[in-house]
Amino acid sequence: MRASDDMMIRVQSTWSGWRNAEVRLGDVRDVHWFQPTRAPRALVHGYIFCSNIVSGEIPHECDRASAPHRLLICILKSHTIAPVYAELVRRADERRTMDRTDTVAAGVLHCSTLVDTRHR
């Protein structure tokens, strides 16, 4: 366990949402890039268990019979100190690289094509 794992960070359930929560950096799992609908670009996301929320709220239906719940969270650069955000970006980039390596190793290569329709 690194000392930075105990550092508190602010997270939210959606990139444009106003509700947020404080969680320990060490409790954030599966950090990755994801571009939600209407978001200007891909943003850092991860997962936490609802039982790891120290303060605040991430809206979800929580009943004690099925808790703890795994929640998708968004971590905004503007809400996170630079060294911690840099670490999260490193983790997301590392996962992106691993995902690409796994895809190529499996013999499957997915390509996307951008089509410019403005000049048609």
Around Cβ 43, how many Cβ atoms within 10 Å? 17
Cα separation of 82 and 49, whole Å?
A: 24
Q: Domain residues of the chain, as ranges? A: 3-105
Q: Which pLDDT tens digit goes with each residue over 44-59?
A: 999 999 889 999 988 8
Q: In this predicted structure, what is the pLDDT of residue 119?
A: 44
Q: CB atoms < 10 A from the CB of 82, how many? A: 8
Tokens representing 21 are 């929560």
Work out the percent of the chain whose per-residue pLDDT is above 90.
57
Q: How many Cβ atoms from other residues are within 10 Å of residue 11's Cβ? A: 25
Give the mean pLDDT of 37-41: 94
Taking Cα atoms as reference points, which of 100, 98, 91 lies closest to residue 30? Answer: 91
Reported as a single tens digit per residue, the pLDDT across 58-105 is 887 777 777 788 999 999 999 999 999 999 999 999 988 777 655 555
pLDDT of residue 2: 62
Strands across the sheet containing 20-24? 29-34, 43-49, 70-75, 8-12, 20-24, 55-56
The pLDDT of residue 102 is 58
pLDDT level of residue 4 (50, 70, 90 thresholds): confident
- Residue 32 has a pLDDT of 97
Residue among 51, 56, 61, 58 nearest 74 (CA): 58
Of 116 and 26, more confident: 26
Q: ω before 68 within 30° of 0 (cis)?
A: yes
